[in-house]
Amino acid sequence: MTYRYDADLVEAAGNFGVFDLTDPQETRAKLLAASAGRPAPDTTGVEVTNLRIPGPEDNPQVPVRVYRPAGVEEDLPAVLNIHGGGFVIGRIEVDDATCLDIARRVKAVVLSVGYRLAPENPYPAGVEDCYAALEWLARTAGDLGADAGRIAVHGISAGGGLAAAVALMARDRGGPRLAFQYLDLPELDDRRDTLSMRRFTDTPGWNAPNAELSWRHYLGERAGSEDVPVYAAPAREKDLSGLPPAYVTALEYDPCRDEAVAYAENLFAAGVPVETHVFSGAYHLAYLIPTARVSRRRAEERVTVLRHALHD
């Protein structure tokens, strides 16, 4: 199949072979080596603190990173950030630039979660770590200079799927009341039966074969069966009423495109205020190319949307 990528994504398309999820440990090592020597992120204007917070019963300490605009005395809204990586790779550090941008330009306290990864820690380990971080954020908001009444959850890729799951858990468990959910290119459906999932089998870095591996690592033999909880695959939830307002993004040549759009439509049908944007000319991992035109547009929209949701 011929893909009509934006011009500034074509050259970079060949650089994502490292995202083979067949051996997650090897992939993590390659990504860590590739990041060695890169300059530390510019934290000007943002106070950054690494903490370990109470987690679920089987993981008493969850690493988190807090980003807070410096010199701001009033309580700010808060954003719980969940990184991507197909449930099996990724670290807090990969979202430094995103979290710093949100802290600076949205004027928000950001809490980024280092949740446990599959296959060593399959479902529900990762999502329970994220939910524990949400509870902690709401409980200690005052100490962080944050407003517990204005908390959003934000995630990219698998992090978007985990963000959707955290919103469902908060609703069902009577947990912290979220003000907003920002689901960016979310990975939501282990059944992988959409048109985009069937069509995009060879897109750069993230494609249908990697999606299958991702869900297998996360859910084991249950992936694709009838025995999958909605907190593992939020697309399976039939009742989306009572969830916070949402913003959902997708990319044209992304296997996860159709499940993201379908989730947005189902939120809308359930009476949840939702906006969605499908960016054309881009593949899933385009978000890792910050200089690309589509990435700059997404970053600007993220700031605009979160400002409106948390400050207006």
> Max CA-CA distance within the chain?
54
State the angle between helix axes of 158-172 and 125-139 in degrees (0 to 180), rounded to the nearest 10.
60
254 is catalytic: yes
Map tokens 């600076």 to a residue: 104
277 is catalytic: no
Q: Is 234 helix (H, G, I), strand (E, B) or coil?
A: helix
Q: Which residue, 241, 238, 246, 242, is CA-closest to 264?
A: 246
Q: Which residue, 198, 287, 188, 170, is CA-closest to 235?
A: 188
List the catalytic residue out of 83, 196, 284, 295.
284
Note the residue count of the chain. 312
List the catalytic residue out of 95, 147, 184, 254.
254
Residue 115 · residue 84 · CB < 8 Å: no
List the catalytic residue out of 112, 157, 196, 214.
157
157 is catalytic: yes
Residue 244 · residue 179 · CB < 8 Å: yes
Other Cβ atoms closer than 10 A to 202? 10
Active site residues: 157, 254, 284
